[in-house]
């Protein structure tokens, strides 16, 4: 078991303090969930992770990996990937300038049903062919931004809640199998809702209830501090990380350390 753990790779998030929080970055063989209110930096984090997962290999002179980006909120922007890569100063010569983008496979899921089918009927066969075929680029990161969007819009009212949660559980369980079987880092984002049951302020909770809490391996809450561009990341659930916090900035580079606070 311990030797299996040695196979775990880590993908840098782009911020040293956040990497330190995660013991080096987002892990393969696990699901890492980032949740937070709108504007907290979830999508920016996903974009930065995508760039890092592919281009950090460039510096090691290794073959580039592939990233699968499942976009449910229509917020994937390839031009943003380019601007992050440029701002982070990756040495891209003319033919690599935009050609590395072909290592990002983007898939749009417009309904919850489609989201499930893509995973089951498209992604798993794709991963199987990759296992047989050594020459193909390996998929190292799967981003789902966000996992809840379609479910939240399609299943209305209390009566459909059990069905929604069951489907969500199945989807998350499949992600978990994929992560472990193929050694992929799975990153999912999640939205928040406000519970009005208690009267305390700032009671926003991640959506998806217990299902999401149980199925994600690591859970990180993101929150943008009022009146500043700082985001605070806090580990909420993990098997071995300390419950601690990290701060980072949202900039041209995607996400970045706060200068002078390290």
Partner 1 sequence: MATGKAKINTEPDSYKNAQDNEDSAVSDEDRSIIDASDLELKDIEGIGPTTAKKLKEAGIISVLELAVTSADQLAIDIGCSKDTAATYIMESQRLLRRSNVLENEFVSASSLLEKRKSMLRCSTGSKSLDELLIGGIETQAVTEFYGEFGSGKSQICHTLCAIAKQPISDGGLDGGVIYIDTEGTFRPERLNQIARARGFNPMSVLKNVAICKVYNSSHLELIIKDLGKYINAFNAKLIIIDSIISLHRAEYLGRSTLADRQQRLNAILHKLIRLAEIFNIAVVITNQVQSSPDMFFGDPTKATGGNIIAHTSTYRIYLRKSGENRIAKMIDSPYHPYSDIRFTVNEKGTDDIEETPKSKNKK
241 makes contact with partner 1 (CB under 8 A): no
Kindly tell me which residue out of 13, 44, 115, 238 binds partner 1, with binding defined by CB under 8 A: 44
Kindly tell me which residue out of 8, 110, 177, 261 binds partner 1, with binding defined by CB under 8 A: 110
232 makes contact with partner 1 (CB under 8 A): no
- Pick between residue 26 and residue 70 the one whose CB is nearest to partner 1: 70
- Pick between residue 208 and residue 238 the one whose CB is nearest to partner 1: 208
Alpha helices, H only, the chain: 2-6, 16-21, 42-59, 78-87, 112-117, 124-132, 149-154, 161-182, 209-215
Among 14-22, 164-172, 199-207, 215-223, the segment contacting partner 1 (CB under 8 A): 199-207
Task: Kindly report the backbone phi and psi dihedral angles of residue 66, in degrees, each rounded to the nearest multiple of 5, phi listed first.
Answer: -105, 155
Alpha-carbon distance of 100 to 102, in angstroms, equals: 5
Alpha-carbon distance of 44 to 41, in angstroms, equals: 5
Nearest to 149 by CA among 72, 70, 38: 72
Alpha-carbon distance of 239 to 222, in angstroms, equals: 19
Kindly tell me which residue out of 193, 234, 241, 245 binds partner 1, with binding defined by CB under 8 A: 193
List C-alpha distances in Å: 118 to 64, 71, 123: 24, 12, 6
Among 22-30, 144-152, 175-183, 231-239, the segment contacting partner 1 (CB under 8 A): 144-152
- Pick between residue 6 and residue 202 the one whose CB is nearest to partner 1: 202
Within 10 angstroms of residue 125's Cβ, the number of other Cβ atoms is 10
Kindly tell me which residue out of 108, 170, 234, 237 binds partner 1, with binding defined by CB under 8 A: 108
Longest dimension (CA), the chain: 57
**Helix, strand, or coil (residue 11):** strand
As separate numbers, helices (DSSP H) first and strands (DSSP E) second, the chain gives 9, 13
162 makes contact with partner 1 (CB under 8 A): no
Site for partner 1 in 46-85 (CB under 8 A): 47, 68-69, 73-83
Kindly tell me which residue out of 196, 198, 242, 260 binds partner 1, with binding defined by CB under 8 A: 196
24 makes contact with partner 1 (CB under 8 A): no
Alpha-carbon distance of 44 to 48, in angstroms, equals: 6
- Cβ 262 to partner 1, closest distance in Å? 23
Query: Footprint of partner 1 on this chain (CB under 8 A)?
Result: 37-39, 43-44, 47, 68-69, 73-83, 98-99, 101-108, 110-111, 113-114, 117-118, 122, 125-126, 129, 146, 149-150, 152-157, 191-194, 196, 201-202, 204, 226-227, 229, 250, 252
């Amino acid at each position: 078991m311990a030797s299996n753990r040695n196979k775990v790779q880590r993908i840098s998030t782009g911020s040293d303090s956040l990497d330190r929080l995660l013991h080096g970055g987002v892990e393969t063989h696990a699901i890492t969930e980032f949740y937070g209110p709108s504007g907290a930096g979830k999508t920016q984090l996903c974009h930065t992770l995508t760039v890092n997962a592919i281009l950090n290999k460039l510096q090691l002179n290794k073959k580039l990996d592939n990233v699968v980006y499942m976009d449910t909120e229509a917020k994937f922007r390839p031009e943003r990937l380019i601007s992050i890569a440029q701002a982070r100063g990756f040495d891209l010569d003319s033919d690599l300038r935009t050609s590395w983008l072909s290592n990002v496979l983007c898939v749009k899921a417009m309904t919850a049903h489609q989201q499930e089918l893509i995973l089951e009927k498209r992604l798993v066969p794709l991963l199987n062919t990759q296992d047989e075929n050594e020459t193909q680029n390996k998929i190292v990161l799967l981003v789902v931004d966000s996992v809840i969007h379609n479910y939240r819009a399609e299943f209305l009212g209390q009566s459909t809640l059990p069905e929604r949660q069951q489907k969500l559980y199945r989807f998350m369980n499949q992600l978990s199998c994929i992560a472990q079987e193929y050694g992929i880092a799975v990153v999912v984002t999640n939205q928040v809702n406000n519970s009005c049951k208690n009267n305390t302020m700032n009671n926003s909770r991640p959506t998806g209830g217990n299902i999401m809490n149980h199925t994600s391996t690591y859970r990180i809450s993101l929150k943008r501090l009022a009146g500043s561009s700082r985001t605070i990341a806090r580990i909420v659930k993990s098997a071995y990380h300390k419950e601690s916090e990290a701060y980072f900035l949202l900039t041209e580079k995607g996400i970045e350390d706060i200068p002078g606070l390290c």
